[in-house]
Structure 1
Amino acid sequence: MAKSPRGKNELPPPIIVKKVTIVAGGHHGGAWKVAYADFVTAMMAFFLLLWLLGATTEKQRKGIADYFTPTLVKLRQESAGANGLLGGSSIVDVDNYPHRAGQTGTKALTIPRDTTGGSKDGAGRVQKMNRMKQVLAEKLNKTEALRRLARQVKMVDTTEGIRIDLVDDAQFAMFQLGTTVLTPQARDLLKAITETLNPEPGSVSVRGHTDSLPWKRGQVANNWSLSAGRAEATRQALMLGGIAENRFKRIEGVADRELLVQDNPQDPRNRRISITLSN
């Protein structure tokens, strides 16, 4: 049949094209299988984690965790100054190591007291100081006068060795006021100190300390010369007690630069003699 003629303003009929896409496999394709495999893998890992938590000890779990932690090289690279100009951490900043000192330190290293040897031999020094304390206490208990002086003696373990501090107070003075002359009580006290130090090996250092009380006008002496002179007077008293001259390592005076009572420089307890038996 012949088509009727189309008018001038009549639109042409639309042409519909139907495209059929054929998916290989359809519902039987492999996309859902990948998702299901991921789900099963995640569930297996989850149940494996639950099994590890229940079947291992705290120490074993810590070992497993340490195995999977990043290495120190990687952590150090992340904390170093490598992110542009001045873009890194300061040298005083805490490192981001997993076991840095800022987040650990809950357990201390315990050294048995009867242990000897090593570069510092800390346990041997403890035994030595305890022995010296016992010997000195026995000597100070011989007379009533020495027992009263026991409170003036302080024995501490330092990095340089065992230090014995002979400290003044309001009722006791090692030296006559403003001089290097030992008082009779101080001589008795130094005799007991000498008998304690003499059997022990090691060199001896003596340091003199003063308070910060000012001197009278016109006097040429000062706290530096006074502290050094008192240290020398103590050395001579120790030598008279029996300590050999070649055992002395250092004699010095530090005036009022190393105060015992920091908030009161004129406190009499700042006047003291420190005798150190080196390691």
Structure 2
Amino acid sequence: MPFDKTKKIYRSSLDFFDGNPESSYSFDGIVLDGEQIVNEAICTTDTKVIGDVRFMEMVDSDSLIVTGVAEFKTFTTCDDLNVSGSAVFKDELLAESIVVSGGTSVNGKINADVLIVEGKLKANSRVNALSVSVSGYMSCLHKLSFDKCHISGSLISTNIVKGMDIKFKSNSRSMIKRLIADNVTAVGKPAEGSYILVCDEVDCDKAEIEYSKIDLLMCDSCVIGKGCNIGVLECRGDAEISPDAYVEKIVKI
């Protein structure tokens, strides 16, 4: 579909049908195919990128779908973002729901209610989300904040990860510089001699962990299971330690 660069608001009504009545839906917006550079601001109900597109100005769309390749130079906002292709956001990203099943890189801050990473997400600035789910791979260079976080893939953070509840249920390794949470859970079956969670420092109310390597664990209570390697444990309450775990030093507070 050729892109009309003479208008600031681009709209078209299309009905998509793939033979399945349940998947038929009405699309009100724009579809961008081929290689394009969009120099005007975009404000639509639906935006779908199936080609190779560079957006030079702000994008504001209720639904933003990227199955091709997209680069967003400035602020991007939407209700629902779904990236199954490849997307680069050079500035801040604001959305209610973000689902990444392809590859995405964001240089600006990410603010979302729901963040789901099934593919690969590289966050180069702060990330704020109420709910985070990672079954793929997510890396964070700055602070990650959440209410609830579930990791069944891999989370890599060189900064602070902070929230209420975080659960690692994975066979892959997550590496975090500093983890602050009310409740920390880590369970799984990593490769022999490996870990589910590797942290410099964990500060929490309650920890239930196995196959975790933590230099400093500070908690109110903990259950340290098999395969754990803890440098210093500072516990304010009860500590249950498996005979298959190693704790170098215990400090009762």
Whose strand proportion is higher, 1 or 2?
2
Whose helix proportion is higher, 1 or 2?
1
By relative contact order (CA 8 Å, sep 6+), the higher-ranking structure is 1
TM > 0.5: no
Higher-Rg structure is: 1
TM-score by length of 1: 0.22
